[in-house]
Structure 1
Amino acid sequence: VDVAVWALDLKAPRSVSAVGGRFFIDDETETPDTLEAILEYPELILMFHFRPTPLPGFEHMGHIGCLFEGTEASLVVNYEQHEVWARGKKIDDFPRPDPTIPDSPGHVREFLDAIKTRNLDTTCNVRYGHRVTKPGLLSNIAFRTGRRIYWDDERERILRDSAAEQFLKRRFRKPWKL
């Protein structure tokens, strides 16, 4: 989701629905290992596919990537490469655009540098981290409740669904609280 949120400057979805399950990993966790989510943003619909294996036909791109579908062509990207497809054929001579953000030295390195220098101007700061984490968290809530949820980003609340709203906060054992 990171590439889509960054490239399209997405803020927050208005609604989210998701289906999935645990089909590959057999352990004690609750999070699905396979998830298909539909996130409705004001400007577009984002489909999010989470699975432990690459999508068929895109194995060479790895398991992290993004497919942008336009009216003339499609763009498949991950953090290291891109492909442009038009009418079912790969366009090999498509020019690569100039980078618009600097390369990251890595999240851990930036975190340590920010602590040392007190400079919070990182390529993935807390505000952006909050924005890019939201689609996954809301998708998990939609999956766990089994229904479409509606998000009020200004108040950071799920609308008209107290059962879904409970997943926004963690329950702590007594006497711990936050």
Structure 2
Amino acid sequence: MTEWDTAPMCYYNVDSNKRCCSTLPVTVYKPPDSVSIKFDSVEPMVEGHQYTLRCTVNNVAPIKNLTVTIYRGKTPLGPPLPVSDLQKTPVSKDFIMTISPKVQDNGVQYWCEAKLELGPAGPQRPPVVKSAQITANVNSSCIKLIPSIIMCLMLFCFCLV
């Protein structure tokens, strides 16, 4: 079905002299075409700084029935991200989360999943689309200081000579 805003009518007789009608609610669902994740920064990341993860969900409807979760390894990073859009036709949307990686996060895989909730009468397992995994490249904040330290040592040694 491709009619996103349909409202069929049901006509019925209450008694022999009175006819009524009701509008039947119809929701057309479309699972996401794809889900992707990326860092909105240049790698490598530095420990203690803040970075943005962007999960993009493409061509899903209705978006209000979507729940998006971003993972670090197998651990969800907080509750599912909220959707407040009431658009019934397919849309694409970015979901953003800020992280502050530690040097222990070097090599950790990040990914996201989009789950389209089909309501109480829908299948028990709603459609889930997962992104590919991306690997964090995190350096210690000390690594950024090494060039400055070397320069200071060189100047100090030059002054001693």
| Length-normalised TM-score, structure 1 | 0.22
> Which protein is bigger by CA-based radius of gyration?
2
Query: Counting strand residues as a fraction of each chain, which structure ranks higher?
Result: 2
